[in-house]
Amino acid sequence: MSETLGTDNIVVAAPVLHGYFAQLFERFGATGETAREVADHLVEANLTGHDSHGALRAPWYLEKIELGELDPKAVPAVVKDGPTTAVIDGGWGFGQPASRLAMQLAIDKARQMGVACVAVRNANHMGRVGYYTGMAARHGMIGLGCVNLHGASPCVAPFGGIDRRLPTNPFSIAFPTDRDPDFLADMTTSVVAEGKLQMRRNRGLQAEQNWIIDHDGKATVDPWDFYSEPVGALLPMGGVVAHKGFALSMAIEGLAGGLSGAGCSNPDANRHGNACWYTVIRIDAFTPLDEFKANVGKLIDHVKSSRKAEGIDEIFYPGQPEHFRRAERLSSGIAVDPQTWEWLARMAAKVGVQPPPGPLSGR
Ligand SMILES: NC(=O)c1ccc[n+]([C@@H]2O[C@H](COP(=O)([O-])OP(=O)(O)OC[C@H]3O[C@@H](n4cnc5c(N)ncnc54)[C@H](O)[C@@H]3O)[C@@H](O)[C@H]2O)c1
C-alpha cells in the first residue's frame, strides 16, 4: 500500500537526507558507523515508499535519546547461543544494529546447520522487518521475521473488541527468485501501519474507510479520533475476515514477545521497544537453489498472467511495488511532510545542526 503524499512537502534528494540524519544521530551521541546505519535504514524506507518508517522516525528517535529511552552508544550482544539458535540483547540502543546482528547470525548458523532462529529483546524500534528478511534472500536463503512491541504500546483492537490490546505486529518473509526483485512480503497485521495514519494526520488527510474506529467503536476516517483522548483503535488486517489478522498478530506475540523473553502484550508493560524473532532457512538443505528460484519465477509469471481487474494496469507481486518506487524516488527525491521537517529542525537546533540548504523544493 503506497502512501498518499498530499501537498506542501519538502522534497529532498536521498543522499542529502541521509547526510542530515547521520549528522543528527552522531551529534546526539551515536558512533559514526551506527549513525550511518540508522540513516541508511530510514532513507531506504522512504525510497521504497514506506514514509511511515522513514524521516518520520528520525526526530522520534532523537527524542527517545533525550528522554534516556534509547542509548545511542549501546552495542547489541549475544546473551544466549546454541548451534541453531541465539538471543540478542540490544542494550536499549537503536533497533537496527540489533536486528542486523540477529539476521547475520541466523544466516551464518543456517549456512552451517540448514535452519536457524535468532530472537532480539531490549531493543528500540528497528524500522522495516523486510529490510532484514531481504538480507537472507540476497544470500540465497529464506528469511522470516516478526516483531512485537515488547509487551507495550497497544493500538489495535482485538477481533470483536474496541479497545487497544495489540500493536501492529509486522511479519515478513523473503526468498530469492530468478526474477528481479526477489519475493519480499512485509506487512503489519493491522489493516495499516500506524505510521501511515500518522502521515495522513500530518498531511491533513483523512484515513481510508475501515482503518480505524473511535473510542466508542464507531467507524471513522478522522485520524484525530485515533490520536486524541479518548483514543480510538486501528482494526486488525482482513476487513470482513479480520479474525485472521488478529490470529496472526497473536501468533507473533508468542514468537517475538514470548521466545525473546521480552514479553507478550500485557497491561503492565510500559517500555516501548521492538522484540523480534528471525528465522533463516538454507534452501539447498531441501532442494537445489536454482530449482527453487525457477519454481518461484514460474509462480510469478503465473500470477502476473491473470486477466486484470478494471482500472489495474499491472499485477505486482510482493516486493515489486517497493522496487519500482525506489527507482522513482532516487530520481525525484523524497517528500518529507512539513510537520516532520519542522520537528527535525527543532531537534537539529538543539545540537547546532542546520537543515540542509538544498536541493529542496515544495511539492
Ligand atoms: N518496527 C515496527 O514496530 C513496525 C510495526 C509495524 C510495521 N512495520 C513495518 O511497516 C512497513 C509497512 O507495512 P504495511 O503493512 O503498511 O505495508 P504495505 O501494506 O504497504 O505492503 C504490504 C505488502 O504488500 C505488498 N504490496 C503492496 N502493494 C501491492 C500491490 N499493489 N500488489 C502486490 N503486492 C503489494 C508489499 O510489497 C508488501 O510486501 C513494513 O515494512 C513493516 O515491517 C514496522
* Residue of higher predicted confidence among 172 and 360: 172
CA 239 to chain centre: 21
Residue 75 belongs to a domain = yes
Give residues (CB < 6 A) around ligand 1. Answer: 1, 50, 52-53, 125-130, 147, 168, 170, 172, 184-188, 192-193, 196, 274, 316, 318-319, 321-322
Confidence band for 362, pLDDT divided at 50, 70 and 90: very low
Find all residues with CB under 8 Å of 188, minimum gap 6, and list them.
Answer: 168, 169, 170, 237
What is the domain range of residue 76?
10-317+332-362
CATH code at 97? 3.30.1370.60
In a domain, 70, yes or no: yes
H/E segment holding residue 229:
none
DSSP code, position 92:
T
Number of other CB atoms surrounding residue 224 within 10 Å: 12
Test site for ligand 1: of 38, 51, 53, most ligand atoms within 8 A of the Cβ:
53
Alpha carbon 110 to its chain centroid, in Å, reads 24
The single-letter DSSP state of residue 78 is: E
Domain membership of residue 25 (yes or no) is yes
Q: What is the mean pLDDT of the chain?
A: 96
Task: Let me know: does 139 contact 153? Beta carbons within 8 Å.
Answer: no
pLDDT exceeding 90 applies to what percent of the chain? Answer: 94
pTM of the entire structure? 0.96
* Structural domain contains residue 1: no
CA of 182 to the centre of ligand 1 (A): 15
pLDDT in tens, 211-256: 999 999 999 999 999 999 999 999 999 999 999 999 999 999 999 9
From the DSSP assignment, how many helices (H) and strands (E) are in the chain? 12, 13
In a domain, 326, yes or no: no
pLDDT of residue 363: 44
91 φ/ψ sector (left φ>0, alpha ψ -120 to 50, else beta): left
* Count of the separate structural domains present in the chain: 1
Q: Is residue 2 part of a domain?
A: no
Mean pLDDT in residue range 28-47 = 98
Q: Is residue 327 part of a domain?
A: no
pLDDT(167) > 60: yes
Residue 323 lies in a domain: no
Confidence of residue 6 (pLDDT cuts 50, 70, 90): low
